[in-house]
């Protein structure tokens, strides 16, 4: 989620330097586990060349027409890594769901409108975006709840003498909180390890590792196939958080042998605020998946109302309670925006967009005002650019007021998410221009 301090109407998190203040070195530890990409100035002739380059890139963009599938305005929206834009198909679909399926069919819609099977059906729509065959993804509950299910289930699958849970040291906080709680409940311990060191850290004590595919602060992409293979070599299970990767780049769950994975649907999948998350359980592990939250919806005979629990087969075993139908079907409609879209094209545009934005920042800002903490190496970059900047909270508020919406991560990071389905190269250039105007007001350069 976006930090509310990123928006103009909210108070600052700390007393930041004024926008446009003289460049100062920001002496804070680097985020993630790697070095930043350098951002330095370029000749004054660059703006015209950048504009021509943006126009040419937009004209050649194979995904350009997909932008029309979203409700957008003149704002440059670079916060799709927190909340994706509204797909134009969502409102008519929800109108039909509310007025006809709920309003007219009422309880009949559980069967006649396919409500009961929606968690698996929509899971199968997400599956290709995460490199999974059908029957392994179920949609429902929040990311936090699914992390809990996955971690405890992985502990229960692991040998009893493996009592340690490794957690990505730079993880999104919820994952760490949930892992710690799961450890207390199961008599395990938690050890925080940098994602890049996870492979070396796993040993004969390790039950599982919970790893983020993309670091939410820096946009660093971690080696899912390599880390998974190393964990398996050590006899441990791999549980991946895909919140910042699914829908932005290819994910290879089946091909990499990932054991369990979770992810949200309101970022690059554009499912809407609070949209339900998903849980992946590799097919051969499904009979061993022992959910810590058994509910009537995951029972083998949910309407038998038996006092004892017997888990369902397959993906439905990951369900708990009654599905969140309105938000589920909003997500279903949002996924229509992916029709005919090749994830390879999405990845290619993501890298080109972030490259171009970094070039624009280097060309339009004097050296030293910002520092990228996002890896320059394509193999280590997700679909965002994070810039360290003095007074970042105040800078983001001013950017938002001027029509450039990104977000701010404490203490000093401006975070810009690039969603290839609707972000244009012209948007990247405009964002860099406005950033330069905010940091270097006219007459102060």
Active site residues: 172, 241, 266-267, 415
Peptide bond into 438 cis (omega under 30): no
Q: Phi/psi of residue 130, each to 5°? A: -120, 15
> Where do the H-state alpha helices sit in 365-445?
392-401, 425-439
* Cβ burial 142-158 (10 Å sphere, 16+ → b, else e): bbbbbbbbbbbbbbebb
Helices (DSSP H) in 99-212: which residue ranges? 109-112, 118-126, 143-157, 173-186, 198-201
Cα gap 3→413, rounded to integer Å: 11
**Is residue 421 within 8 Å of 357, Cβ to Cβ?**
no
* Degrees, nearest 5: CA angle 11-13-17: 95
First to last CA, the chain: 35
Tell me the backbone φ, ψ of residue 169, rounded to 5 degrees.
-65, -25
Burial (CB < 10 A; 0-12, 13-18, 19+), residue 102, is middle
Q: How far apart are CA 372 and CA 36, in angstroms?
A: 5
Count CB atoms within 10 A of the CB of residue 80: 27
CA distance 76 to 132: 33
Place of tokens 């957690």: 167
């Amino acid at each position: 989620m976006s930090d509310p301090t990123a928006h103009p109407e909210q108070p600052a998190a700390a007393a930041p330097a004024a926008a446009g203040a003289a460049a100062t070195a920001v002496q804070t530890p680097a985020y993630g586990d790697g070095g930043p990409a350098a951002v330095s100035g370029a000749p004054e002739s660059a703006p015209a060349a950048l504009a021509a380059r943006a126009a040419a890139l937009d004209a050649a963009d194979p995904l350009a027409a997909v932008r029309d599938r979203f409700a957008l305005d003149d704002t440059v929206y670079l916060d799709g890594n927190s909340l994706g834009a509204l797909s134009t198909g969502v409102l008519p679909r929800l109108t039909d769901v509310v007025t006809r399926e709920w309003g007219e069919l009422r309880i009949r819609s559980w069967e006649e409108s396919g409500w009961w099977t929606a968690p698996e059906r929509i899971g199968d729509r997400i599956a290709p975006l995460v490199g999974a065959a059908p029957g392994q993804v179920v949609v429902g509950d929040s990311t936090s709840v699914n992390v809990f299910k996955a971690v405890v289930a992985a502990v229960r699958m692991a040998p009893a003498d493996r009592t340690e849970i490794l957690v990505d040291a730079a993880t999104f906080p919820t994952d760490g909180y949930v892992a710690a709680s799961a450890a207390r409940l199961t008599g395990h311990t938690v050890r925080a390890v940098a994602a890049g060191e996870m492979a070396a850290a796993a040993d004969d004590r390790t039950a599982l590792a919970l790893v983020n595919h993309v670091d939410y602060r820096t946009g660093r992409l971690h080696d899912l196939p390599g880390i998974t293979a190393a964990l398996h070599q050590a006899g441990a299970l791999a549980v991946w958080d895909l919140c910042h990767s699914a829908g932005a780049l290819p994910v290879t769950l089946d091909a990499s042998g990932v054991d369990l994975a979770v992810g949200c649907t309101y970022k690059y999948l554009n499912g809407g605020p609070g949209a339900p998350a998903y849980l992946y359980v590799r097919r051969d592990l499904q009979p061993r998946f022992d959910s810590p939250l058994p509910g009537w919806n995951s029972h083998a005979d949910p309407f038998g109302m038996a006092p004892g629990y017997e888990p369902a087969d397959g993906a439905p075993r990951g369900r708990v309670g009654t599905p969140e139908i309105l938000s589920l079907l909003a997500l279903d409609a949002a996924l229509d925006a992916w029709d005919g879209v090749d994830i390879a094209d999405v990845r290619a545009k993501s890298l080109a967009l972030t490259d171009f934005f970094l070039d624009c920042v280097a060309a339009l800002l004097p050296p030293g005002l910002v520092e990228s903490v996002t890896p320059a190496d394509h193999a280590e970059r997700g679909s965002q650019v994070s810039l360290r900047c003095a007074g970042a909270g105040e800078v983001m508020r001013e950017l938002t007021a001027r029509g450039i919406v990104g977000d701010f991560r404490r203490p000093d990071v401006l975070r810009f998410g690039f969603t290839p389905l609707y972000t244009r190269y012209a948007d990247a250039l405009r964002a860099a221009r406005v950033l330069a105007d905010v940091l270097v007001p006219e007459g102060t350069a």
